[in-house]
A and B are shown apart, each in its own frame.
Chain A
């Protein structure tokens, strides 16, 4: 998105949080602060080589986010239409795509700090944690939707960027597009998986090229990373 992230209206997001129910869940804020910063620091860990870094990041994101729940959400009613076999194949493709997306997005902010600015509880299990990424060019507002489970565990199900008063929720955008694609292909899981795999391949190729340009990958390791 655009070059573009014009500076964020931290003030606006603070004002918003004040205007909404004030049951901010400290535990969900702590969860996001700790894990989001861990993810960014992992992407910038000088102790790891490029492949180790990627593996560590993806492992972390797998725990931080509820990919299974998100994968069902983004295909809406088709989650009940797909056979178990179709869903498993779709889930494998989606999980790889989601992790590649998180890596591509968060890699832009590697080494920077995420600061929690507030939170809003939609209900006792559903919270929005408001944060900013501290950048030299200005704070970037990022919001995290966190759901809690019966046993008190937390997991992120969606992430939003804000631009000039607009919130972009990643999973909601994916859902709109995936469902449109499924509607136009008579609910074909094969078509969806093919599209997802194409997007994943582009993301991974771009990430590989960036790491190569940055001198993080040379020779044999680039062949290995490229599969």
Chain B
């Protein structure tokens, strides 16, 4: 899971795709999860959405794209390591090349020059690596601020944070300045990601059962990410019949 936009990711309906025959996966903490989703959505409405709107108002699309490219580039080393851990050497090679090209020709990652050359960013994290290694996800969870997750992805989130190179780099020699820079970067990243998720969060709020929609979307998105975007070969076989009712 991407570090930054916990809530935005949690709310992401970016592809509401779901394993077709499935109507619910393991969800023993539904009551708690629903409460946390309510909290996250209320927080979003009260704080994140207004902040995101203000950010969008003063930051043109071009600027938001640069910010997005910059933080995507910062995350490439984590993707690189996870692709190696998954045995995906070709993917790691592409990610490594992207990082080198974008960090140099792309002016420190502000421009995704590799994408212009047809090499799209990958999205790999340690939660996916654990899945590739055969670790089960465990039950669905919604946590305050962090949003949708599960025990496997929660562990992966912690490991990814631990191997993020920028955590071990000092931007300044002054502790107060260091904190200010790190906080500023985190806020900028969060606002930018939240602004990109606006349409998805509106879609989520429009659902008759936002909790169910989110759980299904999150679960199926993670499944697809673990398959590296490949179609589910059983997708058609699992479809329910229409004549049963």
Binding site for B on A (CB under 8 A): 1-4, 9, 12-13, 15-16, 19-20, 69-70, 72-73, 75-77, 79-80, 120, 122, 126, 128, 145, 147, 157-158, 161-169, 172-181, 195-196, 199, 202
CA distance A79 to B233 in the complex (A): 31
Inside 8 A of A168's CB, which chain B residues have their CB?
15-18
Option from B14, B227, B243 in Cβ contact (under 8 Å) with A165: B227
Option from B13, B203, B208, B245 in Cβ contact (under 8 Å) with A195: B208
Option from B15, B199, B231, B239 in Cβ contact (under 8 Å) with A16: B231
User: Which of A75, A126, A164, A196 gathers the greatest number of chain B CB atoms within 10 Å?
Assistant: A164
Inside 8 A of A199's CB, which chain B residues have their CB?
206, 208
CA distance A19 to B244 in the complex (A): 28
CA distance A162 to B17 in the complex (A): 7
Contact A177 B14, beta carbon cutoff 8 Å:
no
Contact B15 A177, beta carbon cutoff 8 Å:
no
Contact A165 B208, beta carbon cutoff 8 Å:
no
Contact B16 A16, beta carbon cutoff 8 Å:
no
CA distance A169 to B18 in the complex (A): 8
Contact B242 A180, beta carbon cutoff 8 Å:
no
Total A-B pairs, Cβ < 8 A: 131
> A2-B15, A166-B17 given as contacts; is B230 within 8 A of A177 (CB)?
no
Option from B200, B236, B237, B245 in Cβ contact (under 8 Å) with A2: B200
> A1-B200, A164-B224, A167-B235 given as contacts; is B245 within 8 A of A76 (CB)?
yes
- Minimum CB distance partner of A125 in chain B: B243
Option from A80, A161, A180 in Cβ contact (under 8 Å) with B212: A180
Inside 8 A of B241's CB, which chain A residues have their CB?
126
In this assembly, does B152 line the interface, its C-beta being within 8 Å of a C-beta of chain A?
Answer: no
Contact A169 B239, beta carbon cutoff 8 Å:
yes
Contact B239 A164, beta carbon cutoff 8 Å:
no
CA distance A100 to B214 in the complex (A): 22
Inside 8 A of B231's CB, which chain A residues have their CB?
9, 12-13, 15-16, 162, 165, 167
CA distance A38 to B14 in the complex (A): 28
| B209 shortest CB reach to chain A, Å | 4
| A18 shortest CB reach to chain B, Å | 12
> A12-B231, A79-B245, A165-B227 given as contacts; is B199 within 8 A of A177 (CB)?
no
Option from B18, B208, B242, B243 in Cβ contact (under 8 Å) with A196: B208
| A77 shortest CB reach to chain B, Å | 7
| B225 shortest CB reach to chain A, Å | 7
In this assembly, does B194 line the interface, its C-beta being within 8 Å of a C-beta of chain A?
Answer: no
| A162 shortest CB reach to chain B, Å | 7
Inside 8 A of A196's CB, which chain B residues have their CB?
208
Contact A181 B242, beta carbon cutoff 8 Å:
no
In this assembly, does B220 line the interface, its C-beta being within 8 Å of a C-beta of chain A?
Answer: yes
CB under 8 Å from chain A, chain B span 144-202:
196-197, 199-200
| B117 shortest CB reach to chain A, Å | 16
Contact A177 B242, beta carbon cutoff 8 Å:
no
> A1-B16, A16-B235, A79-B245 given as contacts; is B224 within 8 A of A166 (CB)?
yes
CA distance A48 to B15 in the complex (A): 34
Contact A175 B23, beta carbon cutoff 8 Å:
yes
- Minimum CB distance partner of B204 in chain A: A1
CA distance A168 to B12 in the complex (A): 14
Inside 8 A of A128's CB, which chain B residues have their CB?
236
> A165-B230, A173-B18 given as contacts; is B242 within 8 A of A70 (CB)?
yes
Option from B216, B227, B233 in Cβ contact (under 8 Å) with A176: B216
Contact B15 A1, beta carbon cutoff 8 Å:
yes
> A12-B231, A157-B242, A169-B20 given as contacts; is B224 within 8 A of A1 (CB)?
no
CB under 8 Å from chain A, chain B span 21-67:
23-24
In this assembly, does B134 line the interface, its C-beta being within 8 Å of a C-beta of chain A?
Answer: no
CA distance A4 to B233 in the complex (A): 23
A-B contact pairs, 23 of them (CB 8 A): A1-B199, A1-B203, A2-B15, A2-B200, A3-B199, A4-B199, A4-B200, A9-B229, A9-B231, A15-B231, A19-B233, A128-B236, A147-B242, A164-B224, A165-B229, A165-B232, A166-B16, A168-B16, A168-B17, A169-B20, A173-B216, A177-B212, A202-B206
| B116 shortest CB reach to chain A, Å | 15
